[in-house]
Amino acid sequence: MKPLPWSHTSLDDFVNCPLAYYEKRVAKSVIETRSDQMIWGEEVHKHFELRIAEDKPLPQDVAAHEPYMRRLLALPGPRGLAEQKIALNTRLQPCGFFDADVWYRGVIDFMHVASDQTATVVDYKTGKPHSKFKQLKLFALWVFAQYPAIKTVKVRYYWTQTFNETGEIYQRSQIRALWQEFMPDLKQYAQAFREDIWQPRQSGLCYGWCPVVDCEFWKPKKRR
């Protein structure tokens, strides 16, 4: 079976539990419930997209983020881009989001490509802050592939709950090392499709969070 195109989220799903990934994304035998937090996050992303792309004022419930939107719009050079759909093929070359040979897909919330060989990528986060940067590393790798003149990519998470940023800076010389961080998981991902074997992996998500209720590890959500 040919592996499905992957994203940071879907690969993370697979790493957490291959069986749950299979049931949700391959067999599509279960449907994951969208939480109120997920719905709110989508709404915030849409408001930010319209503010950047169309100068549409932020509604009152997110108006406190206007200073940050202005900071992004004030970056020197060309205007930043909102909600950019990105894709790579198996040769690590940029391709169309729905091309026949698409391998990786992502969506960059905000991207600014300056004229000084530098790009800035921002991902808005409405959940609790964390220090996992793999999603941003993938965005940087796509920028390096799409823009050969870019030598430096500044990546940022913008945490809407705390109104602050966290980030890192990557150089073109790091491309090989960055890809190596994903290779072990991607090899297992391809192997699962090739052999059609999807092992369950027990974790805290088994306690009522996973929609695969017939799994041997599934348990009802713990009562507080």
Residue-wise pLDDT for 36-58, tens only, equals 999 999 999 999 999 999 999 99
Q: What angle do CA 196, 197, 199 make, to 5 degrees?
A: 150
Do residues 100 and 89 lie in contact, with contact meaning Cβ atoms separated by under 8 Å?
no
The reply to whether 37 falls in a domain is no
The reply to whether 40 falls in a domain is no
Is the pLDDT reported for residue 224 higher than 80? Answer: no
The chain-wide mean pLDDT, for the chain, equals 95
Nearest to 13 by CA among 151, 212, 217, 216: 212
Q: Which residue has the tokens 């970056």?
A: 75
Encode burial over 204-222: b for 16+ CB neighbours within 10 A, e otherwise.
Answer: eebeeebebeebebbeeee
- Residues 6+ positions from 38 with CB-CB distance below 8 Å: none
pLDDT tens column, 165-200:
999 999 999 999 999 999 999 999 999 999 999 999
CA distance 164 to 223: 33
Q: Fill in the DSSP letter of residue 213.
A: T
Q: How many domains would you assign to the chain? A: 2
The reply to whether 39 falls in a domain is no
Same domain, 174 and 209: no
User: Which pair of tokens denotes residue 52?
Assistant: 């950047």
Same domain, 60 and 160: yes
Same domain, 23 and 57: no
Q: Centre a 10 Å sphere on the Cβ of residue 11 and count the other Cβ atoms it contains.
A: 20
Is the pLDDT reported for residue 145 higher than 80? Answer: yes
User: Which pair of tokens denotes residue 169?
Assistant: 């800076």
Using a cut of 0.85, tell me whether the model's pTM lies above it: yes
Nearest to 169 by CA among 181, 147, 151, 145: 151
The reply to whether 206 falls in a domain is yes
Same domain, 138 and 70: yes
The reply to whether 108 falls in a domain is yes
Range of the domain at 14: 1-32+186-224
3-state secondary structure of 9: helix
CA distance 16 to 29: 18
User: Which pair of tokens denotes residue 161?
Assistant: 């709950």
Same domain, 6 and 22: yes
The reply to whether 219 falls in a domain is yes
